[in-house]
Structure 1
Amino acid sequence: MDPSAVRAYYASKSEHERDRLLSPEGLLERVLTTRLLEPHLGAPGRALDLGGGTGPYSVWLAELGWEVSLADLSPELLAIAESSLPAGTVQEVVEIDARDLSRWADGTFDAVLSLGPMYHLTTAHDRALAASELARVTRPGGVVAVALMPRYTSVRRVLSLPDERWQLADPAFVDRLLDEGVLENAVPGRFTHVYGVQPTEVCPFFESHGFSSLLLASTHGFLTGVEDGLEGLRVEHPAAYLGLLDRVVALASDPGTLATAGHLLYVGRRA
Protein backbone atom coordinates (compact mmCIF):
# COMPACT_ATOMS: atom_id res chain seq x y z
CA MET A 1 0.00 0.00 0.00
CA ASP A 2 1.06 3.56 -0.67
CA PRO A 3 -0.41 5.41 2.35
CA SER A 4 0.03 8.82 0.68
CA ALA A 5 -2.07 7.79 -2.35
CA VAL A 6 -4.80 6.34 -0.15
CA ARG A 7 -4.81 9.42 2.09
CA ALA A 8 -4.99 11.67 -0.96
CA TYR A 9 -8.00 9.81 -2.34
CA TYR A 10 -9.95 10.07 0.91
CA ALA A 11 -8.94 13.70 1.36
CA SER A 12 -10.46 14.53 -2.01
CA LYS A 13 -13.56 12.43 -1.32
CA SER A 14 -14.16 13.32 2.32
CA GLU A 15 -17.67 14.70 1.80
CA HIS A 16 -18.58 11.75 -0.42
CA GLU A 17 -17.36 9.36 2.28
CA ARG A 18 -19.37 11.26 4.89
CA ASP A 19 -22.55 10.71 2.89
CA ARG A 20 -21.79 7.38 1.17
CA LEU A 21 -23.72 5.18 3.58
CA LEU A 22 -26.79 7.38 3.08
CA SER A 23 -26.94 6.62 -0.66
CA PRO A 24 -29.07 3.66 -1.82
CA GLU A 25 -25.97 1.53 -2.39
CA GLY A 26 -24.41 2.53 0.91
CA LEU A 27 -27.66 2.21 2.84
CA LEU A 28 -28.04 -1.42 1.82
CA GLU A 29 -24.41 -2.08 2.78
CA ARG A 30 -24.93 -0.45 6.17
CA VAL A 31 -28.20 -2.26 6.91
CA LEU A 32 -26.79 -5.66 5.98
CA THR A 33 -23.50 -5.09 7.79
CA THR A 34 -25.23 -4.22 11.05
CA ARG A 35 -27.84 -6.97 10.77
CA LEU A 36 -25.26 -9.61 9.92
CA LEU A 37 -22.81 -8.54 12.60
CA GLU A 38 -25.00 -7.74 15.60
CA PRO A 39 -25.87 -11.38 16.50
CA HIS A 40 -22.16 -12.13 16.91
CA LEU A 41 -21.18 -9.13 19.04
CA GLY A 42 -22.32 -10.30 22.46
CA ALA A 43 -22.46 -8.05 25.51
CA PRO A 44 -21.08 -4.53 25.04
CA GLY A 45 -17.49 -3.89 25.97
CA ARG A 46 -14.65 -1.97 24.38
CA ALA A 47 -14.62 -1.72 20.57
CA LEU A 48 -12.22 -0.43 17.94
CA ASP A 49 -13.73 1.05 14.78
CA LEU A 50 -10.62 0.74 12.59
CA GLY A 51 -10.85 2.55 9.27
CA GLY A 52 -14.07 3.99 10.62
CA GLY A 53 -13.80 7.25 8.67
CA THR A 54 -16.41 9.77 9.73
CA GLY A 55 -17.82 7.36 12.30
CA PRO A 56 -21.19 5.95 11.20
CA TYR A 57 -20.44 2.53 12.65
CA SER A 58 -19.01 4.13 15.79
CA VAL A 59 -22.42 5.74 16.32
CA TRP A 60 -24.12 2.36 15.86
CA LEU A 61 -21.79 0.65 18.33
CA ALA A 62 -22.22 3.44 20.87
CA GLU A 63 -26.00 3.15 20.59
CA LEU A 64 -25.62 -0.54 21.48
CA GLY A 65 -23.68 0.41 24.61
CA TRP A 66 -20.08 -0.07 23.44
CA GLU A 67 -17.13 2.14 24.43
CA VAL A 68 -15.64 3.00 21.04
CA SER A 69 -12.21 4.04 19.80
CA LEU A 70 -12.44 5.51 16.29
CA ALA A 71 -9.31 5.18 14.15
CA ASP A 72 -8.50 5.90 10.52
CA LEU A 73 -5.62 6.64 8.15
CA SER A 74 -7.31 9.83 6.89
CA PRO A 75 -7.04 12.98 9.01
CA GLU A 76 -9.72 14.64 6.87
CA LEU A 77 -12.29 11.95 7.65
CA LEU A 78 -11.40 12.02 11.33
CA ALA A 79 -11.78 15.81 11.38
CA ILE A 80 -15.33 15.43 10.06
CA ALA A 81 -16.01 12.83 12.75
CA GLU A 82 -14.71 15.06 15.52
CA SER A 83 -16.83 17.99 14.36
CA SER A 84 -20.05 16.06 13.73
CA LEU A 85 -20.34 13.08 16.08
CA PRO A 86 -22.57 13.56 19.13
CA ALA A 87 -20.62 14.24 22.29
CA GLY A 88 -19.59 11.05 24.07
CA THR A 89 -19.99 8.81 21.04
CA VAL A 90 -16.32 7.79 21.02
CA GLN A 91 -13.67 7.61 23.74
CA GLU A 92 -10.81 8.59 21.43
CA VAL A 93 -10.13 9.54 17.81
CA VAL A 94 -6.82 8.25 16.45
CA GLU A 95 -5.01 8.66 13.14
CA ILE A 96 -3.36 5.30 12.53
CA ASP A 97 -2.19 2.75 9.96
CA ALA A 98 -3.87 -0.66 10.28
CA ARG A 99 -0.48 -2.35 9.89
CA ASP A 100 0.77 -0.89 13.18
CA LEU A 101 -1.61 -0.81 16.13
CA SER A 102 1.17 -0.59 18.73
CA ARG A 103 -0.71 2.26 20.39
CA TRP A 104 -2.83 -0.44 22.05
CA ALA A 105 -1.75 -3.35 24.24
CA ASP A 106 -2.49 -6.98 23.51
CA GLY A 107 -6.14 -7.93 24.03
CA THR A 108 -7.37 -4.35 24.46
CA PHE A 109 -10.65 -4.75 22.56
CA ASP A 110 -13.66 -7.03 22.90
CA ALA A 111 -14.62 -6.31 19.28
CA VAL A 112 -12.83 -4.78 16.31
CA LEU A 113 -14.50 -3.54 13.14
CA SER A 114 -12.08 -3.15 10.25
CA LEU A 115 -14.47 -2.07 7.52
CA GLY A 116 -12.01 -0.57 5.05
CA PRO A 117 -8.29 -0.98 5.66
CA MET A 118 -7.83 -4.54 4.46
CA TYR A 119 -8.90 -3.88 0.87
CA HIS A 120 -6.22 -1.20 0.49
CA LEU A 121 -3.38 -3.59 1.36
CA THR A 122 -2.06 -4.79 -1.98
CA THR A 123 0.82 -6.99 -0.80
CA ALA A 124 0.65 -10.29 1.07
CA HIS A 125 3.17 -8.93 3.57
CA ASP A 126 0.98 -5.94 4.44
CA ARG A 127 -2.16 -8.06 4.73
CA ALA A 128 -0.36 -10.45 7.07
CA LEU A 129 0.84 -7.52 9.21
CA ALA A 130 -2.67 -6.09 9.46
CA ALA A 131 -4.23 -9.47 10.31
CA SER A 132 -1.58 -10.12 12.98
CA GLU A 133 -2.19 -6.72 14.54
CA LEU A 134 -5.94 -7.30 14.38
CA ALA A 135 -5.50 -10.56 16.27
CA ARG A 136 -3.10 -9.05 18.78
CA VAL A 137 -5.35 -6.21 19.96
CA THR A 138 -8.46 -8.41 20.14
CA ARG A 139 -8.95 -10.29 23.39
CA PRO A 140 -9.29 -14.10 23.24
CA GLY A 141 -12.93 -14.79 22.49
CA GLY A 142 -13.42 -11.34 21.01
CA VAL A 143 -15.04 -10.73 17.64
CA VAL A 144 -13.63 -9.09 14.53
CA ALA A 145 -15.51 -7.90 11.46
CA VAL A 146 -13.52 -7.19 8.31
CA ALA A 147 -14.73 -5.66 5.04
CA LEU A 148 -13.19 -7.04 1.84
CA MET A 149 -13.68 -6.50 -1.87
CA PRO A 150 -14.10 -9.44 -4.23
CA ARG A 151 -11.74 -9.45 -7.18
CA TYR A 152 -14.34 -8.73 -9.85
CA THR A 153 -15.60 -5.59 -8.12
CA SER A 154 -12.64 -3.53 -9.34
CA VAL A 155 -13.10 -4.76 -12.91
CA ARG A 156 -16.75 -3.73 -12.92
CA ARG A 157 -15.90 -0.38 -11.37
CA VAL A 158 -13.25 0.52 -13.95
CA LEU A 159 -15.48 -0.70 -16.78
CA SER A 160 -18.34 1.53 -15.61
CA LEU A 161 -16.32 4.78 -15.71
CA PRO A 162 -15.56 6.15 -19.21
CA ASP A 163 -12.48 8.09 -18.13
CA GLU A 164 -10.98 5.04 -16.42
CA ARG A 165 -12.08 2.39 -18.92
CA TRP A 166 -9.11 2.95 -21.25
CA GLN A 167 -6.87 1.14 -18.77
CA LEU A 168 -8.57 -2.13 -19.70
CA ALA A 169 -6.94 -1.90 -23.14
CA ASP A 170 -3.64 -2.76 -21.44
CA PRO A 171 -3.36 -6.58 -21.10
CA ALA A 172 -0.92 -6.21 -18.19
CA PHE A 173 -3.45 -4.06 -16.31
CA VAL A 174 -6.20 -6.65 -16.86
CA ASP A 175 -3.89 -9.51 -15.87
CA ARG A 176 -2.98 -7.75 -12.64
CA LEU A 177 -6.65 -7.10 -11.84
CA LEU A 178 -7.77 -10.66 -12.50
CA ASP A 179 -4.71 -12.71 -11.57
CA GLU A 180 -3.33 -10.72 -8.63
CA GLY A 181 -6.45 -8.81 -7.60
CA VAL A 182 -4.57 -5.49 -7.59
CA LEU A 183 -5.92 -2.18 -8.88
CA GLU A 184 -3.44 0.68 -9.10
CA ASN A 185 -5.46 3.35 -10.81
CA ALA A 186 -3.55 5.50 -13.31
CA VAL A 187 -6.21 8.24 -13.19
CA PRO A 188 -5.12 10.81 -10.58
CA GLY A 189 -7.32 11.21 -7.53
CA ARG A 190 -9.36 8.07 -8.09
CA PHE A 191 -9.97 4.98 -5.95
CA THR A 192 -6.67 3.17 -5.97
CA HIS A 193 -4.31 0.68 -4.29
CA VAL A 194 -7.09 -1.86 -3.98
CA TYR A 195 -6.81 -5.59 -3.35
CA GLY A 196 -9.62 -7.88 -4.46
CA VAL A 197 -9.93 -11.27 -2.76
CA GLN A 198 -11.01 -14.67 -3.99
CA PRO A 199 -13.85 -15.53 -1.57
CA THR A 200 -12.64 -19.11 -1.10
CA GLU A 201 -9.35 -17.80 0.30
CA VAL A 202 -10.83 -15.49 2.94
CA CYS A 203 -11.65 -17.89 5.80
CA PRO A 204 -8.38 -19.87 5.52
CA PHE A 205 -6.43 -16.59 5.59
CA PHE A 206 -7.99 -15.34 8.82
CA GLU A 207 -7.93 -18.79 10.40
CA SER A 208 -4.17 -18.87 9.79
CA HIS A 209 -3.94 -15.70 11.90
CA GLY A 210 -5.78 -17.05 14.92
CA PHE A 211 -9.48 -16.61 14.19
CA SER A 212 -12.32 -19.09 13.99
CA SER A 213 -14.65 -18.15 11.15
CA LEU A 214 -18.24 -17.27 11.97
CA LEU A 215 -19.49 -15.68 8.75
CA LEU A 216 -18.57 -14.67 5.21
CA ALA A 217 -21.34 -12.75 3.51
CA SER A 218 -22.15 -10.21 0.82
CA THR A 219 -23.10 -6.83 2.25
CA HIS A 220 -25.29 -6.28 -0.80
CA GLY A 221 -26.69 -9.81 -0.82
CA PHE A 222 -27.83 -10.77 -4.30
CA LEU A 223 -28.79 -7.14 -5.08
CA THR A 224 -25.38 -5.75 -6.10
CA GLY A 225 -26.02 -3.20 -8.84
CA VAL A 226 -29.76 -2.76 -8.24
CA GLU A 227 -29.65 -0.90 -4.93
CA ASP A 228 -31.62 2.01 -6.42
CA GLY A 229 -34.45 -0.38 -7.19
CA LEU A 230 -34.49 -1.62 -3.61
CA GLU A 231 -34.65 1.96 -2.35
CA GLY A 232 -37.57 2.58 -4.72
CA LEU A 233 -39.32 -0.48 -3.29
CA ARG A 234 -38.74 0.83 0.25
CA VAL A 235 -40.50 4.09 -0.62
CA GLU A 236 -43.29 2.61 -2.75
CA HIS A 237 -44.01 -0.68 -0.97
CA PRO A 238 -42.54 -0.68 2.56
CA ALA A 239 -43.91 -4.09 3.56
CA ALA A 240 -42.54 -5.71 0.40
CA TYR A 241 -39.20 -4.01 1.05
CA LEU A 242 -38.96 -5.45 4.56
CA GLY A 243 -39.87 -8.91 3.33
CA LEU A 244 -37.28 -8.84 0.57
CA LEU A 245 -34.66 -7.41 2.92
CA ASP A 246 -35.18 -10.36 5.26
CA ARG A 247 -34.54 -12.72 2.35
CA VAL A 248 -31.44 -10.78 1.29
CA VAL A 249 -30.02 -11.11 4.81
CA ALA A 250 -30.86 -14.81 4.98
CA LEU A 251 -29.14 -15.49 1.65
CA ALA A 252 -26.17 -13.16 2.13
CA SER A 253 -23.79 -16.10 2.59
CA ASP A 254 -25.02 -17.98 -0.47
CA PRO A 255 -21.82 -18.92 -2.37
CA GLY A 256 -23.46 -17.73 -5.57
CA THR A 257 -23.48 -14.14 -4.27
CA LEU A 258 -19.95 -13.91 -2.88
CA ALA A 259 -17.74 -13.54 -5.97
CA THR A 260 -19.94 -10.84 -7.51
CA ALA A 261 -20.67 -8.93 -4.29
CA GLY A 262 -19.85 -5.25 -3.94
CA HIS A 263 -18.27 -5.87 -0.55
CA LEU A 264 -17.76 -8.93 1.64
CA LEU A 265 -18.06 -9.08 5.40
CA TYR A 266 -15.89 -11.56 7.30
CA VAL A 267 -16.74 -12.18 10.96
CA GLY A 268 -14.39 -14.21 13.11
CA ARG A 269 -13.72 -14.97 16.76
CA ARG A 270 -10.25 -14.65 18.30
CA ALA A 271 -9.14 -18.11 19.37
Structure 2
Amino acid sequence: MDPSAVQAYYAAKSHHERDRLLSAEGLLERVLTTRLLEPHLDAPGRALDLGGGTGPYSVWLAELGWDVTLADLSPELLAIAESSLPAGTVREVVQIDARDLSRWGDATFDAVLSLGPMYHLTTAPDRARAAQELARVTRPGGLVAVALMPRYVSVRRLVSLADERWQLADPAFQDRLLDDGVLENAVPERFTHVYGVEPAQVAPFFESHGFATVSLASTHGFLTGVEDGFEALRTEHPSAYSRLLDRLVATASDPGVLATAGHLLYVGRRRQVPTSPDS
Protein backbone atom coordinates (compact mmCIF):
# COMPACT_ATOMS: atom_id res chain seq x y z
CA MET A 1 0.00 0.00 0.00
CA ASP A 2 1.05 3.56 -0.71
CA PRO A 3 -0.38 5.45 2.32
CA SER A 4 -0.06 8.81 0.60
CA ALA A 5 -2.20 7.69 -2.36
CA VAL A 6 -4.89 6.32 -0.07
CA GLN A 7 -4.81 9.46 2.06
CA ALA A 8 -5.10 11.63 -1.06
CA TYR A 9 -8.22 9.77 -2.14
CA TYR A 10 -9.93 10.20 1.23
CA ALA A 11 -8.83 13.84 1.44
CA ALA A 12 -10.51 14.53 -1.90
CA LYS A 13 -13.59 12.50 -1.00
CA SER A 14 -13.92 13.32 2.71
CA HIS A 15 -17.44 14.73 2.46
CA HIS A 16 -18.51 11.87 0.22
CA GLU A 17 -17.25 9.45 2.87
CA ARG A 18 -19.08 11.39 5.56
CA ASP A 19 -22.35 10.94 3.67
CA ARG A 20 -21.71 7.54 2.05
CA LEU A 21 -23.69 5.49 4.57
CA LEU A 22 -26.66 7.82 4.03
CA SER A 23 -27.00 6.78 0.37
CA ALA A 24 -29.25 3.87 -0.56
CA GLU A 25 -26.20 1.66 -1.08
CA GLY A 26 -24.66 2.79 2.20
CA LEU A 27 -27.87 2.38 4.18
CA LEU A 28 -28.17 -1.25 3.11
CA GLU A 29 -24.51 -1.86 3.93
CA ARG A 30 -24.93 -0.30 7.36
CA VAL A 31 -28.13 -2.08 8.32
CA LEU A 32 -26.81 -5.47 7.20
CA THR A 33 -23.45 -4.92 8.93
CA THR A 34 -25.12 -4.13 12.23
CA ARG A 35 -27.66 -6.94 11.87
CA LEU A 36 -24.89 -9.43 11.12
CA LEU A 37 -22.77 -8.27 14.06
CA GLU A 38 -25.31 -7.75 16.83
CA PRO A 39 -25.91 -11.46 17.60
CA HIS A 40 -22.19 -11.94 18.24
CA LEU A 41 -21.41 -8.87 20.35
CA ASP A 42 -20.55 -9.62 23.97
CA ALA A 43 -21.39 -7.42 26.93
CA PRO A 44 -20.00 -3.95 26.26
CA GLY A 45 -16.31 -3.43 26.89
CA ARG A 46 -13.56 -1.56 25.12
CA ALA A 47 -13.79 -1.41 21.30
CA LEU A 48 -11.53 -0.18 18.51
CA ASP A 49 -13.20 1.24 15.40
CA LEU A 50 -10.19 0.88 13.09
CA GLY A 51 -10.53 2.64 9.76
CA GLY A 52 -13.72 4.10 11.17
CA GLY A 53 -13.51 7.32 9.16
CA THR A 54 -16.02 9.89 10.35
CA GLY A 55 -17.30 7.51 13.01
CA PRO A 56 -20.77 6.15 12.12
CA TYR A 57 -20.00 2.74 13.61
CA SER A 58 -18.36 4.36 16.63
CA VAL A 59 -21.72 6.03 17.31
CA TRP A 60 -23.50 2.69 16.95
CA LEU A 61 -21.13 0.94 19.35
CA ALA A 62 -21.29 3.80 21.85
CA GLU A 63 -25.09 3.67 21.81
CA LEU A 64 -24.81 -0.01 22.76
CA GLY A 65 -22.63 0.94 25.73
CA TRP A 66 -19.14 0.31 24.35
CA ASP A 67 -16.09 2.39 25.28
CA VAL A 68 -14.91 3.25 21.77
CA THR A 69 -11.61 4.39 20.30
CA LEU A 70 -11.89 5.74 16.74
CA ALA A 71 -8.82 5.36 14.53
CA ASP A 72 -8.14 6.02 10.86
CA LEU A 73 -5.34 6.76 8.38
CA SER A 74 -7.07 9.91 7.07
CA PRO A 75 -6.67 13.15 9.04
CA GLU A 76 -9.47 14.74 7.04
CA LEU A 77 -11.99 12.06 8.00
CA LEU A 78 -10.92 12.22 11.63
CA ALA A 79 -11.28 16.01 11.62
CA ILE A 80 -14.88 15.61 10.47
CA ALA A 81 -15.44 13.05 13.24
CA GLU A 82 -14.01 15.33 15.90
CA SER A 83 -16.21 18.22 14.80
CA SER A 84 -19.42 16.24 14.40
CA LEU A 85 -19.55 13.35 16.87
CA PRO A 86 -21.63 13.99 19.98
CA ALA A 87 -19.53 14.73 23.05
CA GLY A 88 -18.51 11.59 24.90
CA THR A 89 -19.06 9.25 21.94
CA VAL A 90 -15.45 8.08 21.84
CA ARG A 91 -12.58 7.81 24.28
CA GLU A 92 -10.06 9.11 21.75
CA VAL A 93 -9.56 9.84 18.06
CA VAL A 94 -6.27 8.54 16.66
CA GLN A 95 -4.59 8.81 13.27
CA ILE A 96 -2.93 5.46 12.67
CA ASP A 97 -1.86 2.90 10.06
CA ALA A 98 -3.52 -0.51 10.51
CA ARG A 99 -0.16 -2.21 9.96
CA ASP A 100 1.28 -0.67 13.14
CA LEU A 101 -0.94 -0.60 16.22
CA SER A 102 1.99 -0.36 18.66
CA ARG A 103 0.22 2.54 20.36
CA TRP A 104 -1.78 -0.15 22.18
CA GLY A 105 -0.61 -3.09 24.21
CA ASP A 106 -1.51 -6.73 23.74
CA ALA A 107 -5.16 -7.69 24.33
CA THR A 108 -6.27 -4.07 24.81
CA PHE A 109 -9.65 -4.41 23.11
CA ASP A 110 -12.66 -6.65 23.69
CA ALA A 111 -13.84 -6.06 20.12
CA VAL A 112 -12.31 -4.56 16.98
CA LEU A 113 -14.12 -3.37 13.88
CA SER A 114 -11.79 -2.99 10.90
CA LEU A 115 -14.24 -1.90 8.22
CA GLY A 116 -11.87 -0.41 5.69
CA PRO A 117 -8.11 -0.85 6.09
CA MET A 118 -7.72 -4.42 4.88
CA TYR A 119 -8.98 -3.80 1.35
CA HIS A 120 -6.33 -1.12 0.80
CA LEU A 121 -3.43 -3.49 1.58
CA THR A 122 -2.25 -4.67 -1.83
CA THR A 123 0.73 -6.82 -0.79
CA ALA A 124 0.74 -10.09 1.11
CA PRO A 125 3.27 -8.85 3.74
CA ASP A 126 1.10 -5.80 4.47
CA ARG A 127 -2.01 -7.94 4.89
CA ALA A 128 -0.17 -10.37 7.15
CA ARG A 129 1.19 -7.54 9.29
CA ALA A 130 -2.26 -5.96 9.65
CA ALA A 131 -3.81 -9.30 10.62
CA GLN A 132 -1.04 -9.92 13.16
CA GLU A 133 -1.59 -6.50 14.72
CA LEU A 134 -5.34 -7.04 14.75
CA ALA A 135 -4.86 -10.32 16.61
CA ARG A 136 -2.34 -8.83 19.02
CA VAL A 137 -4.54 -5.96 20.26
CA THR A 138 -7.67 -8.14 20.59
CA ARG A 139 -8.13 -10.07 23.81
CA PRO A 140 -8.45 -13.85 23.56
CA GLY A 141 -12.08 -14.60 22.81
CA GLY A 142 -12.68 -11.05 21.60
CA LEU A 143 -14.75 -10.35 18.50
CA VAL A 144 -13.29 -8.96 15.27
CA ALA A 145 -15.14 -7.77 12.17
CA VAL A 146 -13.22 -7.05 8.98
CA ALA A 147 -14.57 -5.52 5.77
CA LEU A 148 -13.19 -6.88 2.51
CA MET A 149 -13.87 -6.40 -1.18
CA PRO A 150 -14.36 -9.34 -3.54
CA ARG A 151 -12.20 -9.33 -6.64
CA TYR A 152 -14.96 -8.69 -9.16
CA VAL A 153 -16.30 -5.53 -7.55
CA SER A 154 -13.35 -3.49 -8.83
CA VAL A 155 -13.94 -4.79 -12.34
CA ARG A 156 -17.62 -3.80 -12.20
CA ARG A 157 -16.69 -0.38 -10.89
CA LEU A 158 -14.19 0.28 -13.68
CA VAL A 159 -16.58 -0.92 -16.40
CA SER A 160 -19.24 1.47 -15.09
CA LEU A 161 -17.05 4.61 -15.17
CA ALA A 162 -16.27 6.07 -18.60
CA ASP A 163 -13.20 7.98 -17.46
CA GLU A 164 -11.65 4.95 -15.73
CA ARG A 165 -12.58 1.95 -17.91
CA TRP A 166 -9.89 2.73 -20.50
CA GLN A 167 -7.40 1.12 -18.13
CA LEU A 168 -8.94 -2.28 -18.87
CA ALA A 169 -7.58 -2.03 -22.43
CA ASP A 170 -4.13 -2.78 -21.02
CA PRO A 171 -3.86 -6.60 -20.80
CA ALA A 172 -1.34 -6.40 -17.95
CA PHE A 173 -3.65 -4.13 -15.94
CA GLN A 174 -6.62 -6.43 -16.52
CA ASP A 175 -4.65 -9.55 -15.62
CA ARG A 176 -3.35 -7.98 -12.42
CA LEU A 177 -6.88 -6.97 -11.48
CA LEU A 178 -8.39 -10.40 -12.12
CA ASP A 179 -5.49 -12.70 -11.25
CA ASP A 180 -3.89 -10.82 -8.35
CA GLY A 181 -6.86 -8.74 -7.20
CA VAL A 182 -4.89 -5.48 -7.27
CA LEU A 183 -6.23 -2.15 -8.49
CA GLU A 184 -3.83 0.78 -8.71
CA ASN A 185 -5.93 3.46 -10.33
CA ALA A 186 -4.13 5.75 -12.78
CA VAL A 187 -6.86 8.41 -12.53
CA PRO A 188 -5.86 10.92 -9.84
CA GLU A 189 -7.85 11.14 -6.61
CA ARG A 190 -9.96 8.08 -7.41
CA PHE A 191 -10.46 4.92 -5.38
CA THR A 192 -7.08 3.21 -5.51
CA HIS A 193 -4.64 0.73 -3.99
CA VAL A 194 -7.40 -1.82 -3.60
CA TYR A 195 -7.05 -5.54 -2.96
CA GLY A 196 -9.92 -7.80 -4.00
CA VAL A 197 -10.18 -11.14 -2.24
CA GLU A 198 -11.34 -14.54 -3.38
CA PRO A 199 -14.03 -15.44 -0.80
CA ALA A 200 -12.82 -19.02 -0.36
CA GLN A 201 -9.44 -17.74 0.83
CA VAL A 202 -10.75 -15.35 3.49
CA ALA A 203 -11.42 -17.70 6.41
CA PRO A 204 -8.15 -19.67 5.98
CA PHE A 205 -6.21 -16.39 5.94
CA PHE A 206 -7.62 -15.12 9.22
CA GLU A 207 -7.48 -18.53 10.83
CA SER A 208 -3.76 -18.67 10.03
CA HIS A 209 -3.36 -15.45 12.02
CA GLY A 210 -5.05 -16.55 15.22
CA PHE A 211 -8.78 -16.21 14.63
CA ALA A 212 -11.65 -18.68 14.77
CA THR A 213 -14.17 -17.97 12.03
CA VAL A 214 -17.73 -17.09 12.99
CA SER A 215 -19.06 -16.08 9.58
CA LEU A 216 -18.32 -14.55 6.18
CA ALA A 217 -21.20 -12.59 4.67
CA SER A 218 -22.17 -10.06 2.04
CA THR A 219 -23.17 -6.68 3.42
CA HIS A 220 -25.38 -6.06 0.38
CA GLY A 221 -26.78 -9.57 0.25
CA PHE A 222 -28.27 -10.59 -3.07
CA LEU A 223 -29.29 -6.98 -3.81
CA THR A 224 -25.88 -5.66 -4.89
CA GLY A 225 -26.54 -3.06 -7.58
CA VAL A 226 -30.23 -2.48 -6.86
CA GLU A 227 -29.94 -0.74 -3.50
CA ASP A 228 -31.92 2.29 -4.70
CA GLY A 229 -34.95 0.11 -5.37
CA PHE A 230 -34.65 -1.59 -2.00
CA GLU A 231 -34.50 1.77 -0.22
CA ALA A 232 -37.60 2.87 -2.15
CA LEU A 233 -39.34 -0.31 -0.97
CA ARG A 234 -38.67 0.74 2.63
CA THR A 235 -40.96 3.74 2.29
CA GLU A 236 -43.41 2.35 -0.27
CA HIS A 237 -44.02 -1.06 1.34
CA PRO A 238 -42.44 -1.20 4.83
CA SER A 239 -43.63 -4.70 5.66
CA ALA A 240 -42.23 -6.09 2.39
CA TYR A 241 -38.96 -4.30 3.09
CA SER A 242 -38.75 -5.82 6.55
CA ARG A 243 -39.45 -9.35 5.33
CA LEU A 244 -36.93 -9.04 2.49
CA LEU A 245 -34.32 -7.64 4.88
CA ASP A 246 -34.75 -10.72 7.07
CA ARG A 247 -34.12 -12.88 4.00
CA LEU A 248 -31.01 -10.83 3.14
CA VAL A 249 -29.60 -11.49 6.59
CA ALA A 250 -30.48 -15.18 6.45
CA THR A 251 -28.81 -15.70 3.06
CA ALA A 252 -25.88 -13.29 3.43
CA SER A 253 -23.38 -16.15 3.70
CA ASP A 254 -24.65 -18.07 0.67
CA PRO A 255 -21.59 -18.89 -1.50
CA GLY A 256 -23.45 -17.71 -4.58
CA VAL A 257 -23.89 -14.30 -2.98
CA LEU A 258 -20.34 -13.86 -1.71
CA ALA A 259 -18.50 -13.79 -5.06
CA THR A 260 -20.62 -10.97 -6.46
CA ALA A 261 -20.95 -8.95 -3.24
CA GLY A 262 -20.09 -5.28 -3.03
CA HIS A 263 -18.43 -5.79 0.35
CA LEU A 264 -17.75 -8.82 2.50
CA LEU A 265 -17.80 -8.93 6.29
CA TYR A 266 -15.56 -11.44 8.04
CA VAL A 267 -16.50 -12.06 11.66
CA GLY A 268 -14.21 -14.04 13.92
CA ARG A 269 -12.95 -14.43 17.45
CA ARG A 270 -9.40 -14.20 18.69
CA ARG A 271 -8.47 -17.75 19.58
CA GLN A 272 -7.69 -18.44 23.18
CA VAL A 273 -3.96 -18.54 23.84
CA PRO A 274 -3.01 -22.19 24.44
CA THR A 275 -1.81 -23.01 27.92
CA SER A 276 1.77 -24.25 28.18
CA PRO A 277 2.01 -27.79 29.55
CA ASP A 278 4.67 -26.51 31.99
CA SER A 279 2.55 -23.67 33.35
Q: Shorter-chain TM-score: what band?
A: over 0.9
* SS of the residue 1:187 aligns to: coil
Aligned residues: 271
> 1-side partners of 2:261 and 2:83: how far apart?
33
Query: Within the alignment, does 1:97 sit opposite 2:94 as a pair?
Result: no
Q: What amino acid is aligned across from residue 152 of structure 1 in structure 2?
A: Y
In the other structure, the counterpart of 1:165 is 165
Residue of structure 1 equivalent to 2:67: 67
Q: Secondary structure at the match of 2:163?
A: helix
Post-superposition CA distance 1:177-215 (Å, at most 9, x none): 000000000001100000000000000000000000001
Corresponding letter in the other structure for 2:111: A
TM-score, structure 1 as length reference: 1.00
Counterpart-to-counterpart distance in 1, 2:143 and 2:240:
33
Partner AA of 1:116 in structure 2: G
Percent sequence identity is: 85
Question: What SS is found at the alignment partner of 2:101?
Answer: coil
What SS is found at the alignment partner of 2:57?
helix
Q: Does 1:227 align with 2:213?
A: no
Q: Deviations over 1:218-253 (max 9, x none)?
A: 000000000001011111101100010000010000
How big is each residue's C-alpha offset from its partner over 1:103-132, in whole Å with a ceiling of 9 and x where there is no partner? 000000000000000000000000000000
* DSSP 3-state at the match of 2:164: helix
Kindly indicate whether residue 56 of structure 2 is the aligned counterpart of residue 56 of structure 1: yes
How many Å separate the matches in 2 of 1:9 and 1:189?
A: 5
Q: Deviations over 1:145-184 (max 9, x none)?
A: 0000000000000000000010011110100000000000
1:41, distance to aligned residue in structure 2 (A): 1.1
Amino acid at match of 2:126: D
Give me the whole-angstrom Cα distance separating, in 1, the residues matched to 2:144 and 2:262. 20
Aligned to 1:122: 122
Counterparts of 1:184 and 1:112 in 2: how far apart (Å)? 28
Secondary structure of 1:176's aligned partner: helix
The Cα RMSD (Å) is: 0.3
Q: Look up the SS of the partner of 2:47 in the other structure.
A: strand
TM-score, normalization by structure 2: 0.97
Residue 114 (structure 2) pairs with residue 88 (structure 1): no
Q: What residue identity is the alignment partner of 1:217?
A: A
Where does the alignment leave 5 or more consecutive residues of structure 1 unmatched?
A: none
Letter in 1 for 2:109: F
Aligned counterpart, 1:19: 19
- 1:113-152 matches, within 5 Å, as 113-152=113-152
What whole-Å deviation, never above 9, does each CA across 1:40-61 have from its counterpart, x for those lacking one?
1110000000000000000000
- Look up the match of 1:185: 185
